[in-house]
Chain A
């Protein structure tokens, strides 16, 4: 497949990718901590606004990559600097740019030490994350993929909780080992194809055995990132120790890299192997849904609860992807966006509780609703969204995933349904405790309700909960053509 070159004179993707880096350079020169925060907020907001034309000018009728940029980078190795987005990556890029200002806002008071370095890490992360979603060259992709790792490990390791070094190392080792396999697969593909261009590798019809090996290498790398059961153990540790912004980034964007990897690489490059391994992955997805849910149900640490709920929710995403049909894949992409919105918000909520109570214990946080009614309202909406209450974003995603699942295997979906019920159980348990508590709650009368900054942090996500929940068409429309082509490639 060739990369069509839209005569787009303005390199919007490059600007999006590198402006956070430029902002980071400016940040390094700023001395006042207050100014630093305002500057980072301004920069990330400007980037978010700047990313909007991507949606406005996106052509929904074609599955081709758009806003394409192409330049030779290392000609000797046929490595190019090529970028582009399609219906699968567009929403993820927009999600990234949306989440960043919120990360800055939720770190406003939380980060008191080394604020400058923290903001620089955040901005470098943004560059790397947008880069991952836009890269059309495997080496470029890999550079961004690896570049993400270091600031994230630093975010956990420097600004994290008491066991931050352990969590940071665990995160690093897990992801790194996945990356090594990814690199091996990239080199193997390069030897076959003779280029690193990702579109060139799609739909090539490699030998079945070769496909299986490549698929497995991809699979382990991406399954760690998702994380799929049984590769998930780094996630609760990382979430618990990470600062709020770190958890939000991790949940909202980084986990999506795994599922994005499946969609971008596994399915179109190794279609045969995808069919071979599909039943096993569906099984693992169902296990993740149930296991994540049950474990979340048993947690008293709010961050762990939300972290395990992520395992369960991402199980739905992988279930949808490997259903290999329109409803399933579109539902999965929507589920990825929804999870980014909702779980991001839940982590911000946990951060707000932690800032006030200095604990994440569910029992200690009981009965907040009486003194923090506005906060309780937000908790209510986001927990309902997380349990896929109809009318909220997750419902549409889960509904489509289940539709896709039913078309493939009724048994599998019947097995996954208890996961939906468990999701209701752990989320309602959390909501009930936080908003109401029991007959003898700890004294919360000294607490103040949300301030304007906190409301501003949560409101955009609240808007998306209902927007996607009640008007999903603007979101599904952009992915239609790309998903269609993806399914043709995987047939």
Chain B
């Protein structure tokens, strides 16, 4: 079907950008400032949802923003793949605005205007990535995300914050500049443009290019989008956990890391194409390569007592599910990988929100200190339990659907090895999440804690947590909303 030119795409990426400007202008008036964030988030979500009927009808929407040089442009596209990411990210931004207001005010954090401005700018980058029509646009917004999230990571402006921020920038910009940029230049030289293909089959690399070069380009893209957290280039993510929790929640569980996997997947499917990857035998080796990340990160997570760090390693592990699914190159596996972008987003943000709520209410960061807290904070830990189930992949929560399709896909691909990886990783997920929930509800609180009489955090935090947990279940019971997009990607 012919692409349709639609200005809503431009409006979608402008919403967070203008929002950032308004937040900055509102400055020291907190209520007005948060209202601006909220307004931008709602506008973005509204525009994104308004695109759904068109995408459902099988249309691809496009908008040319800047025509740079022949074959080189900044242009936007909305297709089924973009919708999975855009809908999840834009919805979760609304929830995070409330949560973040509760968190930042609860802790009386400094520089909240800068924080909110950068937050909106990061969303601008993320939505831009979701709606990129070509590799250049993707790279542009990818870099915008890197730069605008630095102030969020280094927010506390102490030694630890600067150290985390430095690591963050070094990993993300060095890989993007050192690997993605040259790959992009070479693809442009070989192909004459950088536009993504119209479907996932063919890709855009001309057929006569030597297989060695294609493989090198592929490896550059796989490792270059280091926001995808593939080991050994994952260290920035645990380092970034020094950021305030809303950042860890929306950015390091949803927006930033998903920008990484989304970009990787976009390039795998729409630059290299399933047929080319299959012909060059790139799929299965990639799947095995990311299996190391899936298992390795889970094993590291087992040993982390700091809740946010454990969640961070869990994220590293879960992100690779998406890439694993796509790398298997079978329809079911690709669908499973793609909906995991949304499923993981809703569940992981719940977990991070919980970690933040626990910190605001009790100032506790370590799992070993949370014994018995579940009785004092039933909503928070209840939500934590639900989201953990999703991570483990138990029905009826969203994660189950992803894992089901991934296993089906692995079966289709005839790869016993990958099935074993999925099963072992499920056990590992259970091993590092179940004790947290068990301790919280059935553990004995320390005398000091009993004395303190902890309560749930502010409703501005608990309500978003509950909403996200409920949605995690809803998309497990009714997976069709995201599944229809995943199916549309795989014709």
Contact = CB atoms under 8 A, between A and B. Distances in A.
Interface of A: 384, 389-391, 396, 399-400, 402-403, 406-407, 410, 413-414, 417-418, 420-421, 424-425, 428, 432, 436, 438-439, 470-473, 476
Nearest to A406: B189
Contact of B185 (A384, A402, A424, A470): A402
Interface in B73-107: 74
B427 to A, nearest CB: 40
Contact of B177 (A403, A407, A421): A421
Interface of B: 66-69, 72, 74, 136, 139-140, 143-144, 147, 150-151, 154, 157-159, 162, 165-166, 169-170, 173-174, 177-178, 181-182, 185-186, 188-189
Contact of A439 (B66, B68, B159, B166): B159
B177 A473 contact: no
A417 B143 CA distance: 17
Contacts of A402: 181-182, 185
Contact of A471 (B66, B72, B136): B66
A390 B157 contact: no
A428 B168 CA distance: 12
A313 to B, nearest CB: 15
A439 B162 contact: yes
B482 to A, nearest CB: 30
A436 B169 CA distance: 14
B186 A421 contact: no
Contacts of A420: 177-178, 181
A473 B67 contact: yes
B68 A424 contact: no
Given A390-B139, A402-B182, A417-B178, A436 B154 contact: yes
Nearest to B181: A420
Nearest to B150: A432
Report the 5 A-B pairs with minimum CB-CB distance, sorted nearest first: A390-B140, A402-B185, A421-B178, A470-B66, A406-B189
Majority-rule SS of B interface residues: helix
A439 B147 contact: no
Nearest to B137: A390
B68 A413 contact: no
B174 A424 contact: yes
21 contacts: A389-B143, A390-B140, A391-B74, A396-B68, A399-B185, A399-B188, A400-B69, A402-B181, A402-B182, A403-B188, A406-B185, A406-B189, A413-B182, A417-B177, A432-B150, A432-B165, A436-B157, A438-B159, A439-B158, A470-B68, A470-B74
A472 B73 CA distance: 11
A439 B162 CA distance: 8
Contact of B157 (A391, A414, A439): A439
Contacts of A425: 170, 174
A428 B69 contact: no
B173 A424 contact: yes
Contact of A407 (B74, B150, B189): B189
B157 A396 contact: no
Contacts of A421: 173-174, 177-178
A30 to B, nearest CB: 43
A93 B68 CA distance: 23
Contact of A424 (B140, B144, B177, B186): B177
Chain A interface helix/strand/loop/mixed? helix
B140 A406 contact: no
A407 B192 CA distance: 12
A396 B185 CA distance: 11
Contacts of B147: 384, 389
B51 to A, nearest CB: 24
Nearest to A400: B69
A411 B186 CA distance: 12
Nearest to A414: B182
Nearest to B160: A439
A396 B178 contact: no
A461 B392 CA distance: 54
Nearest to B72: A399
A340 to B, nearest CB: 20
Contacts of A438: 159, 162
Contacts of B157: 436, 439
Contacts of B186: 406, 410
Given A389-B147, A406-B189, 15 more contacts: A390-B136, A391-B74, A391-B144, A396-B68, A396-B69, A400-B69, A403-B185, A414-B182, A424-B177, A428-B173, A432-B150, A436-B162, A439-B157, A439-B159, A472-B69
B69 A413 contact: no
Contacts of A424: 173-174, 177
Contacts of B136: 390
Contact of B69 (A389, A406, A476): A476
A439 B181 CA distance: 33
Contacts of B166: 432
B184 to A, nearest CB: 8
Contacts of A406: 185-186, 189
A397 B177 CA distance: 15
A106 B270 CA distance: 49
A472 B69 CA distance: 7
Contacts of A396: 68-69
Contacts of B170: 425
A384 B150 CA distance: 14
A485 B418 CA distance: 58
A130 to B, nearest CB: 29
B318 to A, nearest CB: 29
A316 to B, nearest CB: 13
Which of A396, A410, A424 has the most chain B CB within a 10 Å cutoff? Answer: A424
A406 B188 CA distance: 10
Nearest to B169: A428
Nearest to B182: A417
Given A390-B136, A396-B69, A473-B68, A417 B169 contact: no
Interface centre among B136, B162, B182, B188 (most CB of A within 10 A): B182
Contacts of B188: 399, 403
A390 B132 CA distance: 14
